[in-house]
Amino acid sequence: MRSIVLSGDGGDLKECLSKLEEQLRPLADKAVPLLVADSHPVQVWAAVLTCQRLGIPLFLGNPHWGEREWGQALADMGSGWCWRQGRLEGDPAPLNPRLRELREVLPSSHWPLIGIPTGGSGGQIKWAMHSWLTLSASAKAHQQHFAVGPVHSYCLLPLYHVSGLMQAVRSWLSGGQWVVWDWKRQQQAKAWDPPLPGSFLSLVPTQLQRLLLSAHPGVLESLRQFRAILVGGGPTWPSLRQQARQLHLPLALTYGMTETASQVCTLLPEAFWQGSDSLGRPLPHATLQIRSEKGDPLPSHAVGYIHIQAESLALGYYPHLSATHRLREGQQQGFTPGDLGYLDRQGSLYWLGRADDLILTGGEKVMAAEVEGEIRASGWVEDVCVLGLPDAEWGQRVVAVVVPKTGIPKELEMHLKQHLSRQLSPFKHPKHWLWCTGIPRNPQGKVNRQQLRQWAAQTLGIPTQAS
């Protein structure tokens, strides 16, 4: 797949926009929603722009959904059309009651809605409902935070993920170029084309790790030329950060999520090079606070729940209308995603992990994300999830579920134990190691912890009801 370079005057995009507007105009009068699931980024971005222009509510979908996920998505929409791998299908019907109610309660500035798929650990799909207004707030804050004009984005992530979508939005609004690369091709390449001056690249930690394991000089040289390599979508681990610093890569560690239209905190590369392991300070459109379980503000360096207020905050979840009604005022009330962390005296954020991933074992606190990061850092596993399962003596026991990359599992367990012994305190080490061929994840890549915990408990002989 060749690189796709898009800008405001791109010919491929103009052709897509013209065809889509002709096809979708009949939907505009009734504001029938459109579900888009296409693997071609030009088609997806053209659909985003066309629906915004015509006032059509848009739901982004994963083109790799199975029939169960696809059926759930269509059922949740209630009525409407779908664009699936280059084909428009559906039956124009009146706006379904849920969306009609949303249109009545939301300010006109937030219409039409843009639904970005997300999901919890239970595997169910839901959409964080944004608008062009919330996405624009995030894009402009990025521009201000890095003090840049046109934002040139190099995209290795799909547009149904918020990180991929926001790269397109930033470039479009700022008049920059949006360059779409194929991840498999870039991962195998021994050299990359040099990026435009002042460009941005977005990666998840696993992608960064794989690039550094290969460490091709031509790739590393191109990586150093980016203004910033935005790394989010999961925690980085100490050895990964150390290697990136040694190679003088311009990492910008970020904190954000689908509900906030990507980053609300970002560490500037200059601070990363100086040794900061924080996720940086809030962007201009956001404020963060650390709160207790009761919701009381906590002082600097006190660990608590991260609370976010941002102009880019989603308007709510679809199809859960009751939550949407409460979140109509959410941009004033804020959002607590269930993450634990603390702010230092300079206001920089340190993320510790999900509160529901906290493992209490023998009176000690273990963050699953920290242990997972160090296991990944070994370079010997394809995937990993760390769980806390009930234990009569310790309260909970630390259990690692691992998809091995190479070697015999018994030998790999010994190597992993030796690796962790040099990196983590003994109480954080897994008491049990379980091997499998794949960890269950939802279409957005989040682990289905409920299913995995049940499997692990059964494998270890722990009663299912206790898990």
| CA-based max dimension of the chain | 67
The type of residue at 346 is: Q
pLDDT digits over 280-291, tens only? 999 999 999 999
Contact 368, 384 (CB under 8 A): no
4-131, CATH topology level = Rossmann fold (3.40.50)
Give the separation between CA 386 and CA 366, rounded to whole angstroms: 10
The pair of structure tokens assigned to 9 is 């005057």
Q: If one looks up domain 362-466 in CATH, what number appears?
A: 3.30.300.30
Nearest to 205 by CA among 366, 379, 1: 379
pLDDT digits over 43-62, tens only? 899 999 999 999 999 999 98
pLDDT digits over 89-106, tens only? 876 555 567 777 777 777
The DSSP secondary structure of 194-210, one letter per residue, reads: PPPTT-EEEE-HHHHHH
Nearest to 250 by CA among 303, 200, 306: 200
Q: pTM of the full predicted structure? A: 0.85
Using 50 as the pLDDT threshold, list the residues of the chain that sit under it.
1-3, 7-10, 121-122, 322-328, 330, 465-467
Question: Residue 178: what are its φ and ψ, rounded to 5°?
Answer: -120, 110
Give the separation between CA 350 and CA 278, rounded to whole angstroms: 5
pLDDT digits over 380-422, tens only? 898 999 999 998 888 899 999 999 987 666 688 888 999 999 9
Counting residues of the chain whose pLDDT is more than 90, the rounded percentage is 56
Q: Do domains 4-131 and 133-316+323-355 have the same CATH topology?
A: yes
Domain regions of the chain by residue span = 4-131, 133-316+323-355, 362-466
pLDDT digits over 108-141, tens only? 889 999 999 986 544 577 899 999 999 999 999 9
Counting residues of the chain whose pLDDT is more than 70, the rounded percentage is 89
Predicted local distance difference test score (pLDDT) of residue 407 = 66
Give the separation between CA 442 and CA 430, rounded to whole angstroms: 25
Architecture of domain 133-316+323-355: 3-Layer(aba) Sandwich (3.40)
Local structure of residue 413 (DSSP, 8 states): H
